A and B are shown apart, each in its own frame.
Chain A
Amino acid sequence: MLNVESIHSYYDKSHVLEGVSLQVGDGELVTLLGRNGAGKTTTLRSILGIVRPRQGQISFDGQQLVGREIFDIARQGIALVPEHRGIFRQLSVEENLKIAVRKGSRWQLDDVYSMFPRLKERRRNGGFALSGGEQQMLAIARALLNGPKLLILDEPTEGLAPVIVDELVKILRRIKGEGLSILLVEQNLMVCDALADRHYVLEQGRVAYQGSAAQFRDDPSIKNRYLALSA
């Protein structure tokens, strides 16, 4: 479904991605791991059209994405839950949702309200008044309304209490169960282990490791080599 082929992306002159390739299949949940600065967010930004790769191809559902406008790529069915949630503070909860509603999406307003009853209770509150967990739920609900075939989440559990993280895992499992493809950037390895079919590990702008969930779980040396905080 998503096929990223050896993309090279830059910020000004610094070469951030040096030939990243990855695939996400239909209904698959794939994680993208790596230390801070390894190029995870830049990979996502390249897929979404925020950063234009100077080399390489990205195809989605048979369509080429490189060089297209951000909104055009989103309309092909790629939705992002951004790193800092991207909730519009001046808009109410319901307005945050309504601007994302797309006809033909499997999820409509009633569906996400029944999935996230808390959002329905708070629908008239301003976006600024939500807790971190509520903001995360709102960001996910908003992405679902946008009619995605592929959902991309950038560090969704960052800064959330463990109880909320558990809830989030349940929700992601449920969304995956409905057949949506998911690309997840996440630091919390417990969450990754609980959800993923496959993993990619990025290091210094390259894919340093890829493997199935089982291979990854059984080989602690990978975690030590690529992901441990101190060498």
Chain B
Amino acid sequence: MLDLYLFQLLNGLGLGMIYFLIAVGLTIIFGLLNFVNFAHGAFFLLGAYLCYTAVAITGNFWLALLIAPLAVAALAWAVERLLIKRIYHLPHTFQILVTLGIALIIQEASVLIWGPVGKNIAVPPELRGVLILGDFIYPYYRLFLIGFAALIGLGLWLLLERTRFGALVRAGSESTETVSLLGTNIFRLFSLTFALGVGLAGVAGVLFAPLRGAQPFVGPEILGIAFVVVVIGGMGSFGGALVGGLLVGVVQSMMSSLWPQGASLMIYGAMAAVILVRPYGLFGRA
């Protein structure tokens, strides 16, 4: 029985790290650009499908893990240059309308290209099999997932906290005008940040693919969870996305063995409980 809980806890951590990757992209985009990206779930979906195609062509998951997120980020960069940069100054409701439109285009285009039935992506051969420790059994791929997402998270933290680019991004979240006055092309910084945030959703999509496959209508569900994580953690907070993601992942996973029907309900319950106590989220500022 205890093993079952440990199993579900680890599953929850893996799921939580994926939620973290999605939510941290969303929160960076919100924090710096003050932009609400409702297409975030659709880009996650695209990451999963591009992974499927890349594996189908090259037969190599590791190559797909590199190519698919870069392709998603490149597309996001192009969409930002063409469309998004024109609507930063509009109210959030308009941003939601536009990005919801982008999400629908991506979703329907995916159905056209890959068909209405989901695709399965195999776990890479190196990570097939399970870890056996006495009575405890756990799939290697899920362990890899936790470790890899943690590495990406660490890399992202170093990028944001220890580099000039990161300092500029954080400065831009306080005042874009002052950053411009220091001779930094803020528009370029915005494009890169948007591509980075969306690229992280692409990474999450690829990592998720061997677990649940690529499903054409998963976008809205993922978007909903990402927003729950961001609300729990606090808008614009890196640490908040991590803690919120893990909390949601673990709650969802534990509940699926205790009370499966209530798993989704409990996520929103957790969110409601957090904002009752801390309206701006665990790490949020007013």
Residues of A within 8 A of B (CB): 48, 50, 69-71, 74-75, 79-80, 82, 86, 88-91, 95-96, 98-100, 102, 142, 146
Query: With A82-B181, A99-B168 given, can you name 8 additional A-B contacts, CB distance below 8 Å?
Result: A48-B181, A50-B177, A74-B180, A89-B174, A90-B173, A102-B183, A142-B182, A146-B182
Report Cα–Cα, A74/B184, bound state, in Å: 8
Given contacts A90-B170, A91-B167, A91-B170, contact A99 B175 (CB under 8 A): no
Q: Specify the chain B residue showing the minimal Cβ separation from A74.
A: B183
Q: Specify the chain A residue showing the minimal Cβ separation from B161.
A: A95
| A contact residues around B181 at 8 Å (CB) | 48, 50, 70-71, 74, 79-80, 82, 86
| B contact residues around A82 at 8 Å (CB) | 178, 181
Instruction: Give chain B's interface residue range (CB within 8 Å of chain A).
Output: 10 to 19
Q: Is the CB of A74 within 8 A of B175?
A: no
| B contact residues around A75 at 8 Å (CB) | 183
B158 to chain A, nearest CB (A): 14
Within 8 Å of chain A (Cβ to Cβ): is B75? no
Q: Specify the chain A residue showing the minimal Cβ separation from B168.
A: A99
Within 8 Å of chain A (Cβ to Cβ): is B60? no
Partner of B167, one of A50, A70, A99: A99
Within 8 Å of chain A (Cβ to Cβ): is B185? yes
- Leading 10 A-B pairs by shortest Cβ distance: A74-B183, A70-B180, A86-B178, A95-B167, A75-B183, A88-B171, A71-B180, A100-B182, A71-B185, A99-B167
B239 to chain A, nearest CB (A): 13
| A contact residues around B186 at 8 Å (CB) | 71
Report Cα–Cα, A88/B174, bound state, in Å: 7
| A contact residues around B177 at 8 Å (CB) | 50, 70
Q: Can you name 5 A-B pairs with beta carbons within 8 Å? A: A71-B180, A82-B178, A88-B171, A88-B178, A95-B171
| A contact residues around B174 at 8 Å (CB) | 88-90
**Proximity bits, B137-177, A CB within 8 Å = 1, else 0:** 00000000000000000000000000010011011011101
Given contacts A88-B171, A98-B164, A99-B171, contact A69 B180 (CB under 8 A): yes
Residues of B within 8 A of A (CB): 164, 167-168, 170-171, 173-175, 177-186
Given contacts A90-B174, A91-B171, contact A99 B182 (CB under 8 A): yes
| B contact residues around A50 at 8 Å (CB) | 177, 181
B34 to chain A, nearest CB (A): 15
| B contact residues around A95 at 8 Å (CB) | 167, 170-171
Q: Specify the chain B residue showing the minimal Cβ separation from A49.
A: B180
Report Cα–Cα, A79/B183, bound state, in Å: 9
Q: Is the CB of B180 within 8 A of A86?
A: no
Q: Specify the chain A residue showing the minimal Cβ separation from B173.
A: A90
| B contact residues around A98 at 8 Å (CB) | 164, 167
Q: Is the CB of A146 within 8 A of B183?
A: yes
Given contacts A88-B174, A91-B167, contact A99 B180 (CB under 8 A): no
| B contact residues around A91 at 8 Å (CB) | 167, 170-171
| B contact residues around A89 at 8 Å (CB) | 174
| B contact residues around A100 at 8 Å (CB) | 182-183
Report Cα–Cα, A189/B135, bound state, in Å: 82
A86 to chain B, nearest CB (A): 4
